[in-house]
Amino acid sequence: MASENECDRARTLLAQMPKSPNADNPTQVERPPTAKTPTEMTVVDICQNDPLNPPCTTVDAPYGECVTVPADYQKKISGVKPHKSSAVCRFYSKATCKGQYFEVNKGTSLVGGKAPDKTVTDLQQPPSAFNDEVASVKCGPEEPAPPPSNLRWIWSSKTQPELCARLDQLSFDFEIGDATRAGTYDRVKLDFGGAGVAPHVVADKPATSDKISGTIDMTKTFGKKTVALDSIQTIRILDQELNFQSGDGWDLKGFKLQGRCAGSGLVVYLDKFYPVDKTLQVDTAGDSSDPYSKDWVVWSGDVKIDDWATHPLCSHFKDMRVFLHLQNWNYAGTNNALYANVGQGKFLIADKPSLNQEFNATVDLQKAYKGKDVAVIKVGNIAISSEGGHDAAAPEKVTVVGECAGAEGSKATALSVKQTFSEWLYDGESFTVDITPDKWVKA
């Protein structure tokens, strides 16, 4: 966790960022005009008897709009079916498309099937929880279209619906503790609460210090090719006993998730549950059922949209600055000039700088990257060079700060990369600041 001084320093760096000509008017996304086309939609069958038996009717469901079912079908529906196989629809018990829902992309009976799990309070629930309860429906594409190529974005809970409404890939990294006998004779599974239809097996009898990576089968686990990011509200670890040795305690070091956003292709990360560092064990007290025939919940964690993040946190920088601090060593200053070599440009940081001082250079993005802004993923390594034919300098730390370009109303966000040095920078030589997209962190 950053100290108060570090937070103050970050605010100072952001305040010192040079304003662009339109700095008082946040960058607006200019989108090319498009021809008017009919609103995309699907037709939904709703029936009063399962699975899809009369009386039935249809409702038109324009994508993204809340549609109230006809009054004579309110709270009487036992079967539903979107006509488009490429559509996914959410059905609600409230007429406002708010609160708990179930989500399907095919004909579904609301009678029988997976029973509601009363231990999970997720918004998404199995269809069986909504028999004779459906009041409204909202549909959309199962695989969203990519956002406009000229979109400048900053990741937040407000931009998430456009950038990453659904995941089409999901993988995990799962780690067992390293203590003696931290492994288990059991089968370990990941369960996604109301969002999932079946748990995913992580490993059978994992051993001490095991690091297990895998890819979630989307169709088997979620019942669809994609899953709504906001539907993953609970993650549980399930334990299945396999034999007489099972039921032993084991240590969870932690786990991480990584998902690919359908449409945009962005990768989002959930690192909230690493580390966990907890001993887990099946508790069968008071349960007389066959211990080998069921999954036991041994751990559970809540997930919020804000727990997911992209790396880096924005698409483009509209301003950049390079800060250089010299060591507090004898002769750490120099009679040379120090430069930041960024992209195709070279920018003066300081001429004849003194020891134990901080200096900075504003990066002209037009010179460096031939544009008024630059994609964060295109910002590569930066070189700090010394020129002038004189003595050496001793850099201590270089901080590269970029101010994110976002749509109108976006909260000001700055990212930074820091690197420390402990050697002398001689005349005619340069030090490299290593920059990759994953190294940018919130300043």
| Band of pLDDT at residue 104, cut at 50, 70 and 90 | very high
| Band of pLDDT at residue 409, cut at 50, 70 and 90 | low
Domains and CATH numbers, the chain: 41-141 (2.60.20.10), 160-310 (2.60.60.20), 315-442 (2.60.60.20)
pLDDT at 116: 73
Span 22-48, average pLDDT: 58
State the Cα–Cα distance between residues 410 and 387, nearest whole angstrom: 40
Q: Which two tokens stand for residue 295?
A: 């999954």
| Band of pLDDT at residue 227, cut at 50, 70 and 90 | very high
State the Cα–Cα distance between residues 365 and 362, nearest whole angstrom: 9
pLDDT at 372: 96
Other Cβ atoms less than 10 A from the Cβ of 105: the count is 20
Are 264 and 315 spatial neighbours (Cβ–Cβ below 8 Å)? no
pLDDT tens-place string over residues 289-317 = 777 778 999 999 999 999 999 999 999 99
pLDDT at 352: 98
Span 45-74, average pLDDT: 95
Nearest to residue 312, comparing CAs of 371, 246, 253, 267?
267
Mean pLDDT of the chain: 89
Half-sphere exposure (CA, 13 Å, Cβ side) for 160?
Answer: 18
Per DSSP, the residues of 106-135 read: S-EESSSSSPP-TT---SB--GGGGTTT--
pLDDT exceeds 80 at position 78: yes
At a CB cut-off of 8 Å and minimum separation 6, what does 439 contact? Answer: 417
For the purposes of burial, counting CB atoms within 10 Å of the CB of 216, is it exposed (0-12), middle (13-18) or buried (19 or more)? buried
At a CB cut-off of 8 Å and minimum separation 6, what does 320 contact? Answer: 342, 362, 363, 365, 368, 374, 379, 400, 401, 402, 403
At a CB cut-off of 8 Å and minimum separation 6, what does 282 contact? Answer: 186, 239, 241, 246, 247, 291, 296, 298
* pTM, rounded to two decimals: 0.80
Helix (H, G, I), strand (E, B) or coil at 100: coil
pLDDT at 111: 84
pLDDT tens-place string over residues 150-199 = 889 999 988 999 999 999 999 999 999 999 999 999 999 999 999 999 99
